[in-house]
Amino acid sequence: MPSSSGPAEPADLPTFLAAHTPFQGSTAEELAELATGAQLETFPAAAVVADYSARVPDEVWMVRDGAVALRSSGDGALIDVVTAGGIFGYLPLLTGAGADFEARTTSPSTLVRLPGAAVRAQFAKPSGLAFLASAGWNRPADRPTIAPATDSRPVAELVNGDVLLVAPDDPVRDVVVQMTDHHVSYALIRLPDGRLGIFTDRDLRIRVVAAGLPVDVAVDRVMSAPARTVTADMTADSVLMEMLECGLRHMPVLTPRGEVIGVLEDADLLAATARQSFLLRRSIGQASDAAQLQQVGRRVTATAVDLFRNGTNAAATSAILSVVIDSLVRRSLELVLAQPENSGVGGFAWLTLGSVARREAMPSSDVDSALSWRDDLDGEAPRLRGIAADVHHILDGCGLPADSNGAIATTTAFARSQSDGRRAAQGWVDEPLRNLGLIMSSLLLDARVVWGEVGLHTAPAAYQRIREKNPEALRLQLLDALAGKMRTRSLRDVLSRRGGTFDLKNHALAPIVNLARWGGLSAGVTSASTPARLAAAAQAGVLRDADSRTLCDVFAMVQRLRLAHQVEQISAGHPPGDIITMSELSPLNRSLLGDGLREIAAVRRRVGSAGLTGI
């Protein structure tokens, strides 16, 4: 409870509000109205300001001074810390639903209570919408407000030029002082070979303080080197995936010539719920046994639901979900290999297949897998398949079932030596109609190594020049991609009656995924996302640019419908799936789906008439 409250001082509150998002674009009259309805309230340390799991708010809080920690109501995990100028409570207010977190002061604090009606009006303005698009829980006043990584803008547009570079022999004490003066949590170190090292707050805690080193130690002794970097032309969403994949908080951005133009931090790119995926992956990495890992794993679906509900688009949500599933697979494998009976086992690679491999996972996705090992380990095949069975047993307990069609590493078809894998793939290319060649090709073309040596995955080599060396095999791939029947007649019935059901995955998504796989194969691209394959197909000239863009747009729309549908199913306590009742869709979504299916059919006709004669 607040220790005191009352009307906010009208003299300086408008100025304070105007200095912080989302009120920076407000007029003087709007700021005055906000200040008139606002109240200043002071809280002691450790006081609960609001418990959003218990009620839907009718106000938004802004921190005047002090700090407020936002923690998960379930396990108390820290979501964020809101400091002066930051606001919280706006998502529950705008969605009209509770949220699973509690706001509690970390020190004596003064907060501004802003009336819900006035704040809603501000969020409808361009500055408010821009703030919602960034979905930032907390953004200190001395840092720029930039968009999250759910778009395709180059990261050069998202960084500022204030970069802290220090010398390798600078003492840590001096580096930390400079970090404080620059209001950053990192320092970059230019190495003699031209590459970069990086020293962060985490390095200070773990490599200096925890290791008992003096603070006058040279920074190059405790830095991370070489630092992982990205080029300025990379898109924000691809950098987000890079950071999630590697568990990084900082990413230096370079020009093609290697000049540093800025450093992205995770808070620059991620909404609060997306930041939870970092915390979740950290919990996965720290799980000490299978039971603990399964307890963490059962939170994965809820994280994806929160991501989507809080404004992260479907593509970014499914990509983040895929990264988290990768982490669960790796940790499950590490725990199995740590068992005494598996001591010394190595020399193999674990491959993820299907939608997870393409970074397109949904809450309904199961786990497809394969193994590839060194040729000298053929005698260990039964043992390696047993390890795969143990891994899938752990994943089952995480709520991630194995593929029901048997595309898993416990079977001989999906567990091979590197030479056997290479021979099998070449056989599928030479004789696609034998030994389920077309099906096996479609599965292994999606495969991505998530543990072990990438070079052990030898199957892709057979497909690299299929357009030149095996045009008939490529032709069969196209025929297979075009073989799925579009449910146009059923769809017309459904749309006219506004009833019936429709399978979003099999009858809307699969035709795009299969065509993209063929297009990528034609361009020499094996494992990749569906949009990346479509873009490669257009660049290779096997798809028209307009058709590639159309299929990408329809793919994004279908993924959004799938995710929205599955989120609603999960919220209602039902298992997620892809069968929708058309009457549940809004008129707009019914129209979009109908238009999308017609676009898919039109592209398939064009590709079929051109591709089958032009190969």
The CATH number covering residue 198 comes to 3.10.580.10
Task: Output the pLDDT for position 266.
Answer: 64
Residue finishing a domain among 134, 166, 184: 134
Given a cut of 60, whether residue 614 has pLDDT beyond it is: no
Residue finishing a domain among 429, 463, 497: 463
Given a cut of 90, whether residue 410 has pLDDT beyond it is: yes
Rounded Cα–Cα distance for residues 141 and 83 (Å)? 9
Given a cut of 60, whether residue 421 has pLDDT beyond it is: yes
Average pLDDT, the chain: 82
Rounded percentage of the chain residues whose pLDDT exceeds 70: 83
Token pair 């759910």 is at which residue? 150
In this structure, is residue 96 part of a structural domain? yes
Peptide bond into 44 cis (omega under 30): no
Strand residue runs (E) in 393-445: 415-417
Regarding whether 103 and 209 lie in a shared domain, the answer is: no
In this structure, is residue 425 part of a structural domain? yes
Task: Output the pLDDT for position 470.
Answer: 85
Please say whether the beta carbons of 135 and 271 come within 8 A: yes
Query: E strand or H helix at 71, and its extent?
Result: strand 68-72
User: Can you tell me whether residue 40 is helix, strand or coil?
Assistant: strand
Given a cut of 80, whether residue 190 has pLDDT beyond it is: yes
Regarding whether 370 and 247 lie in a shared domain, the answer is: no
In this structure, is residue 140 part of a structural domain? no
Task: Output the pLDDT for position 57.
Answer: 80
Residue 425, domain CATH:
3.30.460.10
Token pair 């220090």 is at which residue? 166
Domain count, the chain: 4
Task: Output the pLDDT for position 492.
Answer: 47
Strand residue runs (E) in 407-499: 415-417, 448-451
296-318 pLDDT, tens digit per residue, is 999 888 888 887 877 677 888 88
Given a cut of 60, whether residue 490 has pLDDT beyond it is: no
49-59 pLDDT, tens digit per residue, is 998 877 778 88
Query: E strand or H helix at 69, and its extent?
Result: strand 68-72
Given a cut of 70, whether residue 475 has pLDDT beyond it is: yes
Please say whether the beta carbons of 374 and 416 come within 8 A: no
Task: Output the pLDDT for position 137.
Answer: 32
What tokens appear for 403 in the block?
Answer: 């593929």
Rounded Cα–Cα distance for residues 94 and 53 (Å)? 15
Please say whether the beta carbons of 244 and 281 come within 8 A: yes
Task: Output the pLDDT for position 74.
Answer: 66
Task: Output the pLDDT for position 161.
Answer: 62
Task: Output the pLDDT for position 493.
Answer: 46
Please say whether the beta carbons of 598 and 336 come within 8 A: no
Residue finishing a domain among 223, 244, 266: 266
Mean pLDDT for the stretch of residues 534-557: 92
Query: E strand or H helix at 558, and its extent?
Result: helix 545-571
Mean pLDDT for the stretch of residues 235-253: 73
Regarding whether 359 and 398 lie in a shared domain, the answer is: yes
Given a cut of 60, whether residue 272 has pLDDT beyond it is: no
Given a cut of 70, whether residue 335 has pLDDT beyond it is: yes
In this structure, is residue 421 part of a structural domain? yes
Regarding whether 286 and 260 lie in a shared domain, the answer is: no
What strand order describes the sheet that includes 348-352? Answer: 415-417, 369-373, 348-352, 448-451
Task: Output the pLDDT for position 276.
Answer: 61
In this structure, is residue 150 part of a structural domain? no
Given a cut of 70, whether residue 138 has pLDDT beyond it is: no
Q: CA angle at residue 357 from 599 to 310, to 5 degrees?
A: 70
In this structure, is residue 400 part of a structural domain? yes
Task: Output the pLDDT for position 461.
Answer: 86
560-578 pLDDT, tens digit per residue, is 999 999 999 998 899 999 9
Regarding whether 252 and 321 lie in a shared domain, the answer is: no
Task: Output the pLDDT for position 182.
Answer: 81
In this structure, is residue 139 part of a structural domain? no
Task: Output the pLDDT for position 132.
Answer: 52
Pairing label, strands 165-166, 109-115? unpaired
Residue 71, domain CATH:
2.60.120.10
Regarding whether 288 and 410 lie in a shared domain, the answer is: yes
Regarding whether 280 and 408 lie in a shared domain, the answer is: yes
Mean pLDDT for the stretch of residues 386-400: 96
201-212 pLDDT, tens digit per residue, is 878 878 887 788
What's the domain range around 237? Answer: 155-266
- Bigger pLDDT: 332 vs 241: 332
Task: Output the pLDDT for position 146.
Answer: 28
Q: Which of 1-15, 167-181, 210-224 has the lowest mean pLDDT?
A: 1-15
Regarding whether 162 and 115 lie in a shared domain, the answer is: no
In DSSP terms, 80 is beta-bridged to: 70
492-504 pLDDT, tens digit per residue, is 444 444 457 889 9
Task: Output the pLDDT for position 102.
Answer: 87
In this structure, is residue 282 part of a structural domain? yes
505-532 pLDDT, tens digit per residue, is 999 999 999 999 999 999 888 888 899 8
Regarding whether 317 and 458 lie in a shared domain, the answer is: yes
Task: Output the pLDDT for position 487.
Answer: 53
Rounded percentage of the chain residues whose pLDDT exceeds 90: 36
Regarding whether 211 and 175 lie in a shared domain, the answer is: yes
Q: Which of 35-44, 264-273, 547-556 has the lowest mean pLDDT?
A: 264-273
Task: Output the pLDDT for position 383.
Answer: 94
Task: Output the pLDDT for position 247.
Answer: 67
Task: Output the pLDDT for position 150.
Answer: 42
Task: Output the pLDDT for position 215.
Answer: 83
Regarding whether 245 and 307 lie in a shared domain, the answer is: no
Q: What is the DSSP letter of 171?
A: B
Q: Which of 77-81, 129-133, 320-324, 422-426 has the lowest mean pLDDT?
A: 129-133
Query: E strand or H helix at 99, and its extent?
Result: none
Regarding whether 482 and 456 lie in a shared domain, the answer is: no
